[in-house]
Every structure is written in C-alpha cells, then in structure tokens.
Structure 1
Amino acid sequence: MGKNTKIKYFLKNKLTNSFIGTLKSRFDVKEEKKEFSTKYYMKSECEGVTVTIERYNLDSNYEAAILKQVGETSEGMLYSIPNAKIIQMMYCIAGTCAITKGNKKIYTLKKGDILICNLSSENVREYNLKSKDSKKVMIFLDMDKLESDILDSSVDKKILSNWERKVFDIFENDIFCYGKSNSQIDILISQLENMKITNMNEYFQFKMRITQLLFMILEIQIGSLEDIMISDSEVTEKIKEILKQYSIEKMPHVREICKIMGLSNYQLQRAFRNIEGISVSRYIQKKKMEYAKMLIETTNTNILDIAIEIGYENPSKFSIAFKKNFGILPNKYRKKSKNSSNAE
C-alpha cells in the first residue's frame, strides 16, 4: 500500500491496545513492518511457546490475522473491547484450541471448526483460550465502523439495521457462537494460506477472499429459513423431545442443543420463538420453575434444596425468578398451598 496510504485504521488502534497488548504482557515480542502487513514474533521462555502473527489491515472496519503457535499455552489470550461492537471469527486450520471457564471446558476446536466471539462483552474475560500447536485464521469486524461506512453509501438504513440485528442475534444466549466449516470455506482457507502478497493485485485478491470468507461464515451462522429443510414446528418438537431425555437438574445448554440438531443458534431460536413465542432458554427456565412449584406444593423439601436441584446456588436469585414467574415468593406460595389443602 506504500507510504501514501490515507486509510485511518480505527479498528487497528482498538486491536493493538487489546489483542496485541494482551500478548505483549506475556511474550517477548519483535515486530516487523511489511508493505502489506505487520508480523509479530513472540516467544515465552517459561512456557516454551513461540507464536507468529501476521496481521493484515484490510479496511477501516475489518482486518485479518494468521496465527501460528508451536507449543502449548496453559492460559488463554482472550480479551474484551468494551464500548465497541467488534466481533472476532476464528477458523482452526491445525492443532487444538479449548475455551474454558474455570475448570470447565466449554468448546473444543479442531481443524475445520469455527468460533465467533462478541468482543464487546466484558464477560469474555471470564474465559480462557488454551491452544496447542495451533494455526488459526482470525478476522475482526468493527460493526460500528461498518455501519458508518455503509450509511455513507446508498444502502437503506433499515436494511442495515435488520442485518446487524441478525448478526448479534447469534449471541442471544452466549458470547460465543460455534460452527463447522464447509467445502467452500475450506477452499477459501486453503487459498489464503498459500497466498504471498508482493503487489497490489495480490493484496486485492487476498482482501477479496477475506471479505468473502467473513460474510460466508456470518451467513452460515445467521442462516435463513429457506435453507432449513425442516419446518419451525418440527424444529420445536425436536427440541422438546431432546429436553424430555434429561432430568430437570441436568437440562442441556442451548449450545448443546444446537450441536445435537446441527443448527446455528439463530436458526434454533428463530424457529422455536416463531412457534412458542419465547426463546429456548426461557422455555427451559419455565420448565424448571414449574418443577420447583410442584415440589413446593407436594413435598416438605427445603426451599434452598429445591433451588439447588433446579440449578440455583443462590436462593435469593431463585426467589426472584420464582416471583417473576408466579407473582409470589416461594415460601409464601408454600404457606398459601398448605392453607388451601387444610381448608379442603
């Protein structure tokens, strides 16, 4: 791009402070400026890990990086960028990656797996990304900057707002969205891996493929009902059948149901909401509350034990949720229920 480049990389500044800043706090970093990219060489003697990142600034609203890691990291490189609507896509080319929270493994990524993360959520910091001998393509998209850039064009604002809502709908129940690759994505990744950028033509080809990859991944995750071969009612019934196989205290997370059914979070939630009028997570909570109500009515089990049985370790949160569902606190409901039984 040369010395006369006029593009102001707002996204670059945000990522340098967060993404690269996080890495610099853990590794010895050497930086090499290239004509079309910046390459970072990182090494941690104590962990026995080396990392190289080649970072390409493609536009004011998105950029890409290819990361290669030799060795295993015990702590992750996750970070948040609050007050900015930035999403990160990660495609695992080789090796393994695991997203953990405490001692619990949330996602495992292997070759061909894709993970999208909402970096604007401060909850990202509660998670770790552990990697071993991995290679990843990462794409960062600044939705705020994309919106302002597009609004300068002739695109209708309502169309843009509707698309943006669909993008963030995939994070309705989780700050992560897990997906699988397909043959088209695999071909694009292979092309990107083997590209050498030495002139403007190659730079624009690389940029075109990254743009195609970015929106192809989003389209798969957002999905469209035309692409789903089963109806909303069939999806909804299948979800209910899956939930019937679990006891109340072991109800699966929405992301587990997505994996079982082979649907994106957006496809699953949209189909279920169209039939039931509520999200899948809300439906699961209602089932738990109905079960708790039944126990309060028919047993002498302690309220605290009932709360724990349906997944509430904090009894005050259980009481608030119970009142939200039934308009009365659980201990008062028990008294009312007993009084009704005695009167009969």
Structure 2
Amino acid sequence: MDIIYYYPDDVKRNINEDNSITYILSNNTGEGFVKQYNVFSGIEIFYHSMHLEKCDYDKIPIKDTIEINFCTEGRIESELNDRKYIYIGKGDLSIFELFHEAINSTFPLNHYHGISILINIPKANISLNNIAKSMDLPNINLYKIRNNLKNDNSQIRFIIRNAKEINHIFEELNSAPKELLEYYFKLKVLEIILFLSKIDGKSIFDTPKYYYKNQVNTIKNIKEFLTENISKNYTIKELSSIFNISESSLKECFKDVYGTTIYSFTRSYRMDLAAKLLSTTNDTILDIALKSGYKSPGKFSSNFKTEFNLLPSDYRKIKKQNNQK
C-alpha cells in the first residue's frame, strides 16, 4: 500500500484481507479504532471509531497534504500549531493543511465517529490526471485547488458547519456495500475533489472560533467540577464567580467545547448517572433522585421518563430482568 499517513511503529495494527489497515489505540481513557484505506496513489480514507478522551499520538506532519475531516457523531477538538483550539461536531466539515495546522486531537464527549480523507498533492495530482487522461476528461490541478482554499493569511483553516452541501457524500461512504467499497471510494473522492474545486477560501462559509489553552482548561475544569458535584445546583453566575470567567464567555466557550449548553449537559449527565444507579444499586428512588441533583422525586421521575420513555421504577425492573437472563 502506498501509505502517506501512518501512526508510530508502537501502535498495534492489523492488516486486513482487503489490504486495509486497522489501528488500535488504547490508553487509560478508553479505546479507539482507525481503519485506513488506500484509494488512489496519494489519497487515503480513514474511518474513526473513538471511545476515549484523548489520543496519545500526535499527527505526523506531512508536507503538501490536505486533511478533510467529517464528523458523523460525537465531537473532536483539534489543537493547531499556534496553540489555538477549534471544535467540530456532528455534520461539520473541516479542512486543514496537515503540515502546518492540526497537531493533535482529543474527544471532549469521550467518543467520536468520523471520516478523514488525506490528499497528498504531488502524488494525487499525478494519479488523478492519469485517470482523467484515460477518460478523456480535463486536467485536475490540485495545486490550484489548494491555493484557492487558502485564506488571507495563506492558511487552510476551513470549517463548514452542518455541511449539507457535501454530507451526502460521507453518508454514502458510511453505508456503501462492502463488495462495492473500492468503487465507492473512487467515485466519492472524485466528487469531493469537484466540490473543493468550487471553494474559495477567502469566501468564508463559517468564521472559525478559536480558543486558547487557558480558556479550554477553564471550561474543562468547570465540567469536572459540575460532574463531581452533580447533586448540587450552580447558576451561571456562581460558576462565573468561582472560575473567574465572564458569564458570556462561559456560556459560549462551554457550548463550543461540548456542543451543548451547561444546563443540557448537566441534565443529560444526571439522567445517565440515575440510569446507572438504578441498574447497579438497590438505592431507593428518592436517594437516587437526590444523588442526581433533584430535590423533588416527582420532577426526577418526570424528567427520567422524558429521557428514557420509562418511569425509574419500570426502568430498574426491566434492567434486573435482563440481567437475570
């Protein structure tokens, strides 16, 4: 395989029957799998299935290589080479130049599913034009496409939120029949190249929001504080005062890092905690409500039913029945 991107030698990997490579990434935060396919010389596709908080390996900087990321589920945090942070969530598309931009990635929600496409300009320009010539098609100029993607600072930092213009391509890559996968790869990559040829990096689809390390660390500390004190209720004003951050910055930055508001995050975390306690303990419904931050058992039961379509008592009964099978 003509590999243009790979993980360090100490990363466990399997070579599959179809010549793809599966990388297995694991650490104390969880486990992740990355499956790599070669499409054309200089073009590769990666399927990411991450159930961990962070990856221990930095991206390998490769000259003249564009990285396209599409998030199908979860959230990814990218640290750029100027120590700024940027986030994409479900349905978002990002485009970076690998040599100059993204250094490493973490996963704020502890899971991420997505597709990446790496295009090495010199190699891919030759292979794509050989194909174009054989089909009597016009030449493809990847160098021109790359230049058009650059912004006024000569950087490729592109984000399209809720990328409806292109998400059908990635949906089809996710659902392609196994026996036709090789052909889907080739067709869909050519579609993406066509899409890129119509983009002008100076015509911004969405101005990326950048955050600095101290801002990100503050937000992550707030999230940890909330989960460690989930039985208590804190207002935005109180959190702002405790962590010395303005209320507007707190709300905006938290939503960009975790993809949801503080209220929604806390409510979801409480429901997940309650479900876990109902499944694994004999605590009373009242005790679980209190541990989950609800003073009113009635409100707890109502919110739980909205989340799981079951009352807490019924949820516990079903879980116990399933465990006995």
* TM-score category, normalised to shorter length: 0.5 to 0.7
Instruction: Give the match's secondary structure for 2:75.
Output: strand
Change (3 A) 1:92 1:171: farther
**Residue type matched to 2:147 in 1?**
R
Q: After superposition, what is the alpha-carbon deviation per residue over 1:23-77, rounded to whole angstroms, capped at 9, x for unaligned?
A: x55x5x1313221522223322xx2321111111111021101010012117563
Change (3 A) 1:162 1:34: same
For residues 221 and 59 of structure 1, what CA distance do their matches in structure 2 show? 22
Q: Contact (CA 8 Å) 1:76, 1:130: kept in 2 or not?
A: no
Q: Contact (CA 8 Å) 2:46, 2:117: kept in 1 or not?
A: yes
Asked if residue 120 in structure 1 is aligned to residue 99 in structure 2, the reply is yes
**Residue type matched to 1:182 in 2?**
A
Asked if residue 15 in structure 1 is aligned to residue 5 in structure 2, the reply is yes
Q: Contact (CA 8 Å) 2:92, 2:163: kept in 1 or not?
A: no
Q: Contact (CA 8 Å) 1:90, 1:116: kept in 2 or not?
A: yes
For residues 145 and 36 of structure 1, what CA distance do their matches in structure 2 show? 20
Instruction: Give the match's secondary structure for 1:79.
Output: coil
1:93 maps to: 72
Instruction: Give the match's secondary structure for 2:166.
Output: helix
1:138 maps to: 116
For residues 157 and 185 of structure 1, what CA distance do their matches in structure 2 show? 23
Q: After superposition, what is the alpha-carbon deviation per residue over 1:53-102, rounded to whole angstroms, capped at 9, x for unaligned?
A: 11111110211010100121175633311xx3111111111111112369
Partner of residue 147 from structure 2, selected from 165, 181, 188 = 165
Q: After superposition, what is the alpha-carbon deviation per residue over 1:140-185, rounded to whole angstroms, capped at 9, x for unaligned?
A: 0011113334565478889665444324x24844353222243342
Ranges of 4+ aligned residues in structure 1 off by more than 4 Å: 101-105, 154-161
Q: Contact (CA 8 Å) 1:67, 1:137: kept in 2 or not?
A: yes
For residues 105 and 56 of structure 2, what CA distance do their matches in structure 1 show? 7
Asked if residue 61 in structure 1 is aligned to residue 10 in structure 2, the reply is no
For residues 120 and 81 of structure 2, what CA distance do their matches in structure 1 show? 29
Instruction: Give the match's secondary structure for 1:165.
Output: helix
Structure (1/2) with the larger helix percentage? 1
2:283 maps to: none
Q: Displacement, 1:112?
A: 1.3
For residues 159 and 214 of structure 1, what CA distance do their matches in structure 2 show? 10
Equivalences for residues 141-156 of structure 1 within 5 A: 141-149=119-127, 153=133
**Residue type matched to 1:180 in 2?**
R
Q: Contact (CA 8 Å) 1:118, 1:171: kept in 2 or not?
A: no
Q: Displacement, 1:215?
A: 3.8
Asked if residue 33 in structure 1 is aligned to residue 9 in structure 2, the reply is no
Q: Displacement, 1:116?
A: 1.3
Partner of residue 183 from structure 2, selected from 192, 196, 204 = 204
Q: Contact (CA 8 Å) 1:98, 1:107: kept in 2 or not?
A: yes
Q: Contact (CA 8 Å) 2:76, 2:112: kept in 1 or not?
A: yes
Q: After superposition, what is the alpha-carbon deviation per residue over 1:173-206, rounded to whole angstroms, capped at 9, x for unaligned?
A: 43532222433422222222122423xx442123
1:295 maps to: none
Q: Displacement, 1:129?
A: 1.6
For residues 49 and 178 of structure 1, what CA distance do their matches in structure 2 show? 28
**Residue type matched to 1:15 in 2?**
Y
Q: After superposition, what is the alpha-carbon deviation per residue over 1:251-308, rounded to whole angstroms, capped at 9, x for unaligned?
A: xxxx898359xxxxxxxxxxxxxxxxxxxxxxxxxxxxxxxxxxxxxxxxxxxxxxxx
Equivalences for residues 239-258 of structure 1 within 5 A: 258=207
Instruction: Give the match's secondary structure for 1:188.
Output: helix
Partner of residue 178 from structure 1, selected from 134, 153, 159 = 159
Q: Contact (CA 8 Å) 1:114, 1:180: kept in 2 or not?
A: yes
For residues 257 and 113 of structure 1, what CA distance do their matches in structure 2 show? 11
Equivalences for residues 260-339 of structure 1 within 5 A: none
**Residue type matched to 2:163 in 1?**
N
Q: Contact (CA 8 Å) 2:159, 2:207: kept in 1 or not?
A: no
For residues 155 and 195 of structure 1, what CA distance do their matches in structure 2 show? 26
Instruction: Give the match's secondary structure for 1:73.
Output: coil
Identical pairs, percent? 14
Change (3 A) 1:172 1:103: closer
For residues 146 and 103 of structure 1, what CA distance do their matches in structure 2 show? 28
Work out which of the two has the higher radius of gyration on C-alpha atoms and give 1 or 2. 1
**TM-score (normalizing by structure 2):** 0.52
Gaps of 5+ in 2: 210-325
